[in-house]
Amino acid sequence: MSTTSATPTDAAVELRRMTRRSFATGGIATVAGAASLWWIKHAVPEGGIPWPLRKMMEFNSRVSDAIFDPNRLAPTFDVSRAREPRVNGMIGLKKELDLRRWHLDVLTGGDKPVIERSLPINAIHELPRFEMVTEFKCVEGWSEVVHWAGCRLSDFIAKYGHDTPFVGLSTPDRAYYVGLDRASAVHSQSLLAYEMNGQPLTSGHGAPLRLVCSLKYGVKSIKRIGAIQFTNKRSADYWAEQGYDWHLGH
């Protein structure tokens, strides 16, 4: 019995054939990718970003609405694992703030809100205290386990809020603002926090009051809250206006 094998010449021919095919396939993929990027870049803007991306984000938003489970909880950890997260994002925190004069404005709904009431920090401390040790996740890819203490946003809403589908929060200077759907706002791990790792919040971490939403990325956890508004239409959101997903859940 005899066997045959490819000669060195046959192997070289096959290698060249495969190389040409791979090169052609890669070239077609590159051209297609470049054409797609050109198309997206030159598409008519909608809400500040090209409309194909806007439509995809709206689709993602509908999916987020559909699959959100108010009973789902973020993992919790032993307090011994808690660490201080990095200070990230200073929008709305650049001006000095006299904490003794700070107050939380509850605004009326509508496009021209007025102050319905102003609450001192003592009003927040009087609400039931809640603590949690959860993982704070940043869209940049890092995370840290943090021990938070404050009052649940749901308890605040029950006493001072209104039954609206959306909640908006902003810094005192209104430079930074986030929006929440009601289900996210009243989630049991959405917290108005005034302590971090057993100590009052520092200025860089949002003193005297910040939001912590354990099921959302950190950009939703607005620092130095100065106002809260209950609205019937989707609340404005700083990063959504820059083209990011409005929900930003994980």
Find the CATH number of the domain harbouring 163. 3.90.420.10
Q: Tell me the chain's radius of gyration from C-alpha atoms.
A: 25
pLDDT of 111 reads 86
Q: What is the pLDDT of residues 63-78, one digit of tens each?
A: 555 566 888 999 999 9
Structural domain contains residue 225: yes
Top-ranked range on mean pLDDT: pick from 23-32, 90-99, 108-117, 209-218:
209-218
Question: 128 with 229, same domain?
Answer: yes
The closest of 115, 92, 120, 93 to 105, measured between CA atoms, is 115
Question: Which residues pair with residue 148 across a beta bridge?
Answer: 132, 196
The closest of 65, 75, 199 to 133, measured between CA atoms, is 75
Question: 135 with 206, same domain?
Answer: yes
Please give the residue that has the higher pLDDT: either 144 or 50.
144
d(CA 72, CA 74): 7
Q: Maximum distance among all alpha carbons in the chain? A: 98
pLDDT of 110 reads 87
Question: 30 with 80, same domain?
Answer: no
CB neighbours of 219 closer than 8 A, spacing ≥ 6?
89, 138, 139, 178, 238, 239, 244, 248
Structural domain contains residue 105: yes
Average confidence (pLDDT) over 12-31: 58
Number of structural domains (the chain) is 2
Q: What is the pLDDT of residues 201-238, one digit of tens each?
A: 999 999 999 999 999 999 999 999 999 999 999 999 99
Question: 82 with 38, same domain?
Answer: no
d(CA 166, CA 152): 16
Question: 31 with 81, same domain?
Answer: no
